[in-house]
Amino acid sequence: MTFKAAAIQMCSGVDPEKNAVEMEKLIREAAANGAVYVQTPEMTGAIQKDRAALRAVLKDEDTDIIATTAARLAKELGIYVHVGSTAIARDDGKIANRGFLFAPDGQRICTYDKIHMFDVDLDNGESWRESAAYEPGTNARVATLPLASFGFAICYDVRFPSLFRTEAVAGAEVLTVPAAFTRQTGEAHWEVLLRARAIENGAFVIAAAQAGVHEDERETFGHSIIVDPWGKVLAVAGGAGAEIIYAEIDPSAAAAARGKIPNLKNARDFKLDTVKAASSAGGEAA
């Protein structure tokens, strides 16, 4: 059975309530156009560099405005709503970068906390230390829905192929990568990484992204994308603000791709040997 998926691109600001209003408008538009699975980007609730300001607006998952709005819309519209992620106050006082998946009855199916923290030093002095604010997740997750089996990841997770391989081996036919990629890394790596994850796992990839210049002055790459299991780009957005992209998803295409190239089944365990060559300077090593 095929289904219509939508990836919502946003340019979230610092106010979760305003972002919730924008998210609702876009989800309603996607549902009106026939989408039964709708994904929003990483940090849908707020893009906020100032950690103190971010903490000031944090809620737990039961009262967070993004999560509660998504649950309400899923029930009202009768669709699956996947909040790519939003910042959530944990019971232990730490912050989670947490995604949510809601069913058409409004019930929460599952959550996923981003595992890999974006701690990097890029060119031109651009540095990020996500681990200074967020507690990393520890569990990969696959959710089997009537539509298909979905595997979860968030943004920087895309650079860790073993996460996606684990989910694909567990049956995921659709791999999800909501993101807020920087412009610098997005221009270099965004599409090639996502197409690689699709190809090597024989799975669809759906990646809703943040796009444009945000209130906190950071810039994200956008170009939300949907890729099929053969690596073909089915839909892609631009790089400057809100947009919705759509694609028809046929889960049987994942089985077909894996049948042609059964690398998930052909993978073998192996041992690693390291060899140190003798120095070539001045003859044999003493």
Q: Three-state SS string across the chain, please?
A: CCEEEEEEEECCCCCHHHHHHHHHHHHHHHHHCCCCEEECCCCCCCCCCCHHHHHHCCCCCCCCHHHHHHHHHHHHHCCEEEEEEEEEECCCCCEEEEEEEECCCCCEEEEEECCCCCEEECHHHCEEEHHHCECCCCCCCEEECCCCEEEECCHHHHHCHHHHHHHHHCCCCEEECCECCEHHHHHHHHHHHHHHHHHHHCCEEEECEEEEECCCCCEEECCCEEECCCCCEEEECCCCCCEEEEEEECCHHHHHHHHHCCHHHHCCCCCCCCCCCCCCCCCCCC
> 19 to each of 10, 113, 191, how far by Cα in Å?
9, 20, 26
Domain boundaries in the chain? Answer: 3-266
Please report the pLDDT score of residue 79 as a whole number: 98
Please report the pLDDT score of residue 118 as a whole number: 74
Cα 159 to Cα 166: distance, rounded to the nearest angstrom: 14
Q: Could you tell me the two tokens for 171? A: 């049956």
Cα 217 to Cα 106: distance, rounded to the nearest angstrom: 34
Instruction: Return the active site residues.
Output: 42, 114, 155
Please report the pLDDT score of residue 86 as a whole number: 97
Cα 263 to Cα 229: distance, rounded to the nearest angstrom: 13
Cα 139 to Cα 159: distance, rounded to the nearest angstrom: 17
Please report the pLDDT score of residue 119 as a whole number: 63
> What CATH superfamily classification does 3-266 receive?
Carbon-nitrogen hydrolase (3.60.110.10)
Residue ranges of the chain with pLDDT lower than 50? 286
Q: Helix crossing, 65-77 with 16-32: angle to 10°?
A: 20
Please report the pLDDT score of residue 286 as a whole number: 45
